[in-house]
Structure 1
Amino acid sequence: MATHQPLPSQSAPVVQRGIVRWLRENLFSSWLNSIVTLVVGYYLLTTLVPLIDWAFFSAVFTGAGVEACNPNSACWIFIQERFGFFMYGFYPEALRWRPTLAFVLFALAVVPPFLPLPSRVGRWAGIFGITGLPVAGYILISGGLFGLESVNTSQWGGLMLTLILAYVGIIAALPIGVALALGRRSEMPIIRGICVVFIEFWRAVPLITILFMASVMLPLFLPDGVSFDKLLRALVGITLFQAAYMAEVVRGGLQAIPRGQYEAAEALGLGYWRRMRLIILPQALKIVVPGIANTVISLFKDTTLVLIIGLFDLLGAVKSTLSDPAWNNVMAEGYLFVAFCFWVFCFGMSRYSHRIEKQLDTDHRQ
């Protein structure tokens, strides 16, 4: 009969924690990783350190005009002196409180979901952002009502114009995209054919061509005396272009819904529109939140193309200012400012979509 002998006592295993363990496991786990780490570290050290010194430590932040700038460091005085133009374009300075108030309303509509507030607050803020904000923003910025002085759209510009183009395009493109996605899956050949032709046509044409056609070619086909505002034509072109891409994103979500969900909805005796509104679309839209966010971010960046039709968005405002001979040496600072602004908004939209994903994540996973 075999006997079991106890094992000799051993000391507890050595537990490595802290930065040393992290470096060993992630950056120096093998000789190849060690070489790559050293090469990349050397490249970053020789590139980032001078860049940070140029942009922050040796940079000029205050002063009177271009004379205070140092040619060997960043001159952020340029941004400070032209900040109002970059934000509002040619909008009258005395009336800039109106778009500023619209910005505040925009923040009240999009910020609550990030704060620890009751869910109904975020829900009402979202409803206001979709319905009330476009109306209030148009009245404030355009004027002409309630005693507000009218401001022509040719004077709109800067970051204000970028946000208007992106926000209106997003709000209008989503419902149109949903309708197109449903139409493309329709059992009626005529409806399905119209939606397929619409989607494929707008997806096959570059946005820059659509903007050019809307601004230059469309007025040629209108009757004498009939004209549309240039900004309105750009908004229509951007909305229809983006709706085609949104339709394909939503269609992907509809195809991902199991057939059993459709059959269960039919078994409940629900009509087509009630099935879509109550059962199918909520699930499909939840699935495609990352795709919708990606499309929205792409739209926000594509708004810079309106420069070709004479609309001065944020990028156009900076480029027009750089044509001034007095500021011809601050091109890098101007484009870095534009890149930072776009990064802030795109990163915010990305985090917003992640927040929505977590709120809608109702799957029961272990």
Structure 2
Amino acid sequence: MEMTVAAPPPPTIAEDLKRRYFASPLQALVSLFSLAVIAFVVWKVLNWAFLSAVFTASGGPEACHAAAGACWSVIAERWRIILFGLYPFEEQWRSALACVAVVAMTVLSCIPAFWTGRRLAVVWVAGTALFYVLMKGGILGLPYVGEESWGGLALTLFIFVTTCLIGFPLSICLALMRRSDLPWISRTTGLIIDSVRSLPLITILFTFAIVLPFALPQWLQGDKLYRVILGSALFFSAYQAEIVRGGMQGVPKGQEEAARALGLGYWRSVSLVLLPQAMRNALPATINQFVISFKETSLVVIIGFFEILASGNAAYGTGEWRFAYVEVYVFIALIYFVFVFSLSRYGAYLERRMAVGER
């Protein structure tokens, strides 16, 4: 007759805390000191951000000078400049709707019911077209607003979305070309990818914005904004191509051989067998690349675009609000955090759904 030994009960919360942080007198002292430092920092931040802060713009800058906390009055007074930049004041509702259209397009793309090529194409084409019509106007009774007047959050989202929309398909093409059996194709593609990856993004943006017009005829130059987007998309595609190629290398060789044995041609084996598994393998790095690309949109401020960071600089640039730059940057950082954290959490959801890392 076999004897079974009952497993010990799991430790309580108090026992677990004692084992982790108060196992010895020295460890208890370090834990209490760390807790005191954390409590002090949290209290200082809460006192500055909320308890002693000024939230209304009625008192103006003078009320902020008299207070000991944050001056959120600058946000209440200058939020339009931060979010809309140089966009005409009476037309800023269009910029707000354009941002809503981009967010709605992104949310719909994240819903599994839309995960087919046709549905995603409809969502992205319709969302991008709606954004462009709202921002530029010139039709449907909307006044025309040139790209030079675009700014704020709408411009940041436009650069990010179009960069990914152009760069992601291009990255797949580059990854497939680098794996080509023809040496002149694979080596040329590898040279292009490695050359782009060896340059900082700001160099590529500056080249496409300033230098490229000297090498192109007038009819081919286009607007500076679209040249910058093409440069950003090229940079994105070079890094993403290596991520996709790494995902392809993680697919067992037998998968391709089995596809060929079933009579599938090159394109069908790539689209139905190789790429789905490769994208699954490359999912964590792909989400990370999207996050990096969103944050890198702030670099366009160096070449003269009025995106959300430049708009924030203008919000406190006047003499009366010059002291409130910390509050402005905290507000902008919060906007970046909302978008980046949402991307990261969605990536974690996809990893759980697809069981990435599990075999």
TM-score by length of 2: 0.90
Tell me: CA distance 1:364–1:323, structure 2 relative to 1, closer, same or farther (3 Å): closer
Residues 1:78 and 1:30: Cα distance change in structure 2 (over 3 Å): same
Q: Give the deviation of 1:275 after TM superposition.
A: 0.5
Instruction: Please name the residue that 2:335 is paired with.
Output: 341
SS of 1:90's equivalent in the other structure is: coil
Q: Write out per-residue CA displacement over residues 265-324 of structure 1, whole angstroms, 9 at most, x where no aligned residue.
A: 111111111110000000100111110010010011111110111101111111122221
The Cα of 1:14 is off from its aligned counterpart by 7.9
Specify the alignment match of 1:146 in structure 2: 140
For 1:209 and 1:31, locate their aligned partners in 2 and report how far apart those are by CA, in whole Å: 55
Q: Map 1:303-318; keep pairs closer than 5 Å.
A: 303-318=297-312
In the alignment, does 2:245 pair up with 1:257? no
**C-alpha displacement at 1:109, in angstroms?**
2.6
Alpha-carbon shift at residue 359 of structure 1 (Å): 2.8
Residue in 2 that maps onto 1:155: 149
Which residue pairs with 2:104 in the alignment? 108
Give the direction of change, closer, same or farther, for the CA distance of 1:240–1:152 in structure 2 (3 Å limit): same
Q: Is the 8 A contact 1:86 1:314 kept in 2?
A: yes
**How far 1:92 sits from its partner (Å)?**
1.3
What are the superposed Cα offsets for residues 88-109 of structure 1, whole Å, 9 maximum, x if unpaired? Answer: 1111122222222222323333
Structure 1 residues 320 and 275: CA distance shift in structure 2, 3 A:
same
Say which one has the larger Rg.
1
Q: Structure 1 residues 29 and 287, CA, compared in 2 at 3 Å: closer, same or farther?
A: farther
Report the Cα offset of residue 195 of structure 1. Answer: 1.1
Q: Amino acid of the residue matched to residue 54 of structure 2? A: V
SS in 2 for 1:148: coil
- Residue of structure 2 aligned with 1:207, choices 175, 179, 201: 201
Distance 1:362 1:244 in 2: 23
| Alpha-carbon spacing, 1:283–1:41, altered in 2? closer, same or farther (3 Å) | same
More helix by share: 2
Q: CA deviation at 1:128?
A: 4.1
Structure 2: where are the runs of 5+ without partners? 1-6
Task: Give the % identical residues.
Answer: 37
Q: Cα deviation per residue 1:99-148 (whole Å; 9 max; x = unaligned)?
A: 22222323333335778xxx425768744443321122112211223332
Pairs within 5 Å for 1:110-259: 110-111=106-107, 119-120=112-113, 126-223=120-217, 227-259=221-253
Superposed displacement of residue 26, structure 1: 3.2
The answer to whether residue 59 in structure 2 is matched with residue 68 in structure 1 is no
Tell me the secondary structure at the aligned position of residue 276 of structure 2: helix
- What pairs with 1:29-48 in structure 2 (closer than 5 Å)? 29-31=23-25, 33-48=27-42
> Does the CA-based 8 Å contact 1:110-1:126 persist in structure 2?
no
- Cross-structure match for 2:272: 278
Instruction: Give the TM-score of the pair, scaled to structure 1.
Output: 0.88
Q: Residue 349 of structure 1: CA displacement?
A: 0.3
Of stretches 291-300 and 81-90 in structure 1, the one that deviates more from structure 2 is 81-90
Between 184-193 and 27-36, report the one with greater CA deviation: 27-36
1:4 aligns to what? none
Tell whether the 8 Å contact from 1:110 to 1:125 is kept in structure 2 after alignment: no
Closer, same or farther: CA 98–38 of 1 in aligned 2, 3 Å: same
Contact 1:157 1:313 in 2 (8 A): yes
| Distance in 2 (alpha carbons) for counterparts of 1:269 and 1:136 | 43
Matching residue within 84, 91, 116 for 2:87: 91
**Which deviates more from structure 2 when the two are superposed, residues 325-334 or residues 91-100?**
91-100
Q: Which of 37-46 and 268-277 deviates more?
A: 37-46
* In structure 2, distance between residues paired with 1:271 and 1:176: 22
Q: Is the 8 A contact 1:112 1:125 kept in 2?
A: no
What amino acid is aligned across from residue 74 of structure 1 in structure 2? A
Give SS of 2:294's match. Answer: helix
User: Partner amino acid for 2:200?
Assistant: P
The letter for the 2-side match of 1:84 is R
* Equivalent residues of 2:57, 2:74 under 8 A apart: no
Q: 1:322 to 1:262 in 2, by over 3 A?
A: same
**268, 275, 286: which one aligns with 1:292:** 286
Question: 1: CA distance between counterparts of 2:76 and 2:119?
Answer: 33
Q: Tell me, yes or no, if the aligned pair for 2:201 and 2:235 is still in contact at 8 Å.
A: yes
> How many positions carry a matched residue from both structures?
352
Q: How far off is 1:199 after superposition? A: 0.5
